[in-house]
Amino acid sequence: MKLFFKMIKMNFRIMIYYKWGFLLTLFLVPIQMLVNILLFNTLYAHNNTDYIMGYSVTQMVWYFVCVGFVFQCIWNFTDTRISQRILSGELVVDLLKPISLYKIELSDAVAVLIILFSAGFFELSSC
């Protein structure tokens, strides 16, 4: 388990190393949530109501954020990365490591989710 957490930390550092991509992610995730918040605020203001179909603005925003987070948990690029490693021959190096290939890919996905969740959570705390 200790090795798994070190892999998450390493993948997190790799993502931070590419500064422009990292900053773009930190910039785009809150903007996407801000657009959702503004959209629902406008929708509810246009209808002059606090509830639409029994849901408040805050409930709708949280629902869309949770759906986006679950989508990020389910849909990732694991299959693409593995197929590229097979074609390039880099998979041999991963198979020689003392951790399974599935844990390597899971640690990468967890690192991505940590970044997305932390970028989005700060925006939601202002909601």
Q: What pLDDT score was predicted for residue 125?
A: 52
Total domain count for the chain? 1
Residue 5 has pLDDT above 70, yes or no: yes
Question: Which ranges in 18-125 belong to alpha helices (H)?
Answer: 19-46, 57-74, 78-88, 91-95, 101-124
Query: pTM value?
Result: 0.62
Q: What φ, ψ does residue 8 adopt, rounded to 5°?
A: -60, -45
Average pLDDT, the chain: 82
Q: What pLDDT score was predicted for residue 121?
A: 59
| Residue 85 lies in domain | 2-124
What is the per-residue pLDDT across 25-72, written as a single tens digit (0 to 9) for each? 778 877 888 888 888 899 899 988 888 888 998 888 888 878 877 887
Element (H, E) at 17: helix 2-17
Q: What pLDDT score was predicted for residue 81?
A: 86
